[in-house]
Amino acid sequence: MSAPQREEWNSVLGFILAAAGSAVGLGNIWRFPYIVGKNGGGNFVLLYLLIVFLLGLPVMYLELAAGRKTKRGPVGAIKALAPGSFWKFLGYLAVITGIAILSYYGVVAGWTIYYLFHSIFFGFESGNTSALFNKFTSNGLLQISLLFIFIGITTSVVFFGIKGGIEKISKVLMPLLLILMLGLIIYCFTLPNASKGLEYYFMPRFSEMNTNTFIFALGQAFFSLSLGMGAMMTYGSYLKKSEKLLNAGFVVIIFDTAIAIMAGLIIFPVIGGAPEKASAGLVFVVITDLFTKIPGGQLLAIFFFLLLSIAALTSTISLLEVAASYLIDEHKISRKKATVSIGFITFLVGIPSALSQGATSFFTKFIKIGDKHLSFLDSFDFAFGNISLALGALLLVLFVIFKWKFQNAKIEIFRNQEDKLWLSYILKPLVLFAVPAAICIVLGFIIFTGKTLS
């Protein structure tokens, strides 16, 4: 079978910026700080870093290698590496997970746009931000419209193709994001309680460490690095054979981790200690309230929400790209038709999530666990943003061990960098033992205790 002409990143920098754009998103700036706050600050950060480098890094390399080797997204890559085998369900799982994550991620991403405009035109009122958030999220029509707008923007970027769309936008947006964050960090460091916030953020308190810390750290690492659903495989498939995958992947991981840590460097000095309410509303309620109390707060809020929407967009682009490239590669559908139809399906799937933050009580109290209710959005995040990603990463590693073979993956990972082959002695035990064992333990724990839902 002759390989059809396939688009490629113009440069390794284009790849790095786009892949980092996928990785850096609401996961880093909205989710990471609030999960740090929920799991005891410094000890979570320490564990998170360990997991990123011991478990996230090997999975990142396997995804990039499988993508570049086959020049295909997840479905095509598995089919090419193991023709006719049952492993192809792994590819389908990736496509479904991508659409599912995008459907609710688009809702939260829509919030960032609303808050951006709100901070520009109205600003925020002290003591009123919680009421504002609740009023806003229970407006069903507004929620659906914002979802539509965000998915629409995402679709139009992917519509114009890998080079024209994603690469161009990432080249401009990612450095802008870095500059914005650095500016905010400098500003936040001057706040009166900054040092108390930093102490909470960096000082491990091991007594507060429990199994949940581990589970959240693992889930957060895959989510943040965009692993376990073929996003990195798809981006790797556009990477030239002549480029150095080992270096590029490492840079992406450093970039993503740095941005997450930087997000904490903004948020914890603002909070000035352990957050009182480390819930999903942290950014939207607590931070906006604090922005009303500090000098220059309105400008800071504008920067903050601009940054958050930019980060969300470069992530939603990659979520859509996985499903779209599946239709393009496997069903020979034109890029335009593929992106518009996946965008539309995602929008429809996202409607219940949009209505689950107060707009309808059915979707808001979708599942009952003990005396707690889980919204449709939270349930979807649990099923796809946690379980499905961990499962996807586990299955990929098992696929490499039993079918593709580590030996073959190794050749692709170290291509053009044979001088670094000695690193494979570290990588191999991680792929063969550490990653599958850790994910099996965590998934087993979640399945048998339902702990992450608490």
Closest CA to 319 of 251, 397, 228, 255: 228
**Per-residue binder mask for ligand PHE (CB under 6 A), 304-343, x = binder:** -----------x--xx------------------------
In whole angstroms, give the CA distance from residue 287 to residue 129: 9
In this structure, which amino acid lies at residue 425? Y
Size of the site for ligand PHE (CB under 6 A): 15
Binding residues for ligand PHE restricted to 211-230, rule: CB under 6 A: 223-224, 226, 229
Closest CA to 385 of 329, 446, 338: 446
Phi, psi at residue 374, to the nearest 5°? -115, 130
Shortest reach from residue 368's CB to ligand PHE, in Å: 27
DSSP letter for each residue of 85-109: STTHHHHHHHHHHHHHHHHHHHHHH
Shortest reach from residue 144's CB to ligand PHE, in Å: 22
In whole angstroms, give the CA distance from residue 172 to residue 179: 11
Q: Which is nearer to ligand PHE, 132 or 217 (CB)?
A: 217
Sequence-ordered list of residues with C-beta below 8 angstroms from that of 418, at least 6 positions apart, any chain: none
Measure the CA dihedral 29/397/43/284, to 10°: 20
Q: Could you say whether residue 353 binds ligand PHE (CB under 6 A)?
A: no
Q: Which is nearer to ligand PHE, 97 or 213 (CB)?
A: 97
Shortest reach from residue 376's CB to ligand PHE, in Å: 19
Shortest reach from residue 102's CB to ligand PHE, in Å: 8
Of the candidate residues 22, 154, 339, 364, the single one contacting ligand PHE (CB under 6 A): 22
**Alpha-helical segments (H) within 297-360:** 297-331, 335-354
Q: Which is nearer to ligand PHE, 318 or 356 (CB)?
A: 318
Shortest reach from residue 347's CB to ligand PHE, in Å: 17
The CA–CA distances, whole Å, from 187 to 174, 199, 270, 299 equal 20, 18, 10, 11
Separation of CA 266 from chain center = 19
Q: Which is nearer to ligand PHE, 105 or 187 (CB)?
A: 105
Shortest reach from residue 227's CB to ligand PHE, in Å: 7
Q: Which is nearer to ligand PHE, 14 or 297 (CB)?
A: 14
In whole angstroms, give the CA distance from residue 8 to residue 417: 20
Choose the stretch contacting ligand PHE; rule: CB under 6 A; options: 3-11, 18-26, 66-74, 408-416.
18-26
Of the candidate residues 66, 90, 101, 324, the single one contacting ligand PHE (CB under 6 A): 101
Q: Which is nearer to ligand PHE, 219 or 297 (CB)?
A: 219
Shortest reach from residue 226's CB to ligand PHE, in Å: 4
**Per-residue binder mask for ligand PHE (CB under 6 A), 27-46, x = binder:** xx------------------
Containing 368, the helix (H) or strand (E) segment is strand 367-369
Closest CA to 40 of 258, 287, 206, 194: 206
In this structure, which amino acid lies at residue 196? K
Q: Could you say whether residue 231 binds ligand PHE (CB under 6 A)?
A: yes
**Per-residue binder mask for ligand PHE (CB under 6 A), 261-300, x = binder:** ----------------------------------------
Give the number of other CB atoms < 10 A from CB of residue 193.
13
Q: Which is nearer to ligand PHE, 132 or 252 (CB)?
A: 252
Is residue 75 within 8 A of residue 95, CB to CB? The reply is yes
Q: Which is nearer to ligand PHE, 318 or 379 (CB)?
A: 318
Q: Which residues bind ligand PHE (CB under 6 A)?
A: 22-23, 25-28, 101, 223-224, 226, 229, 231, 315, 318-319
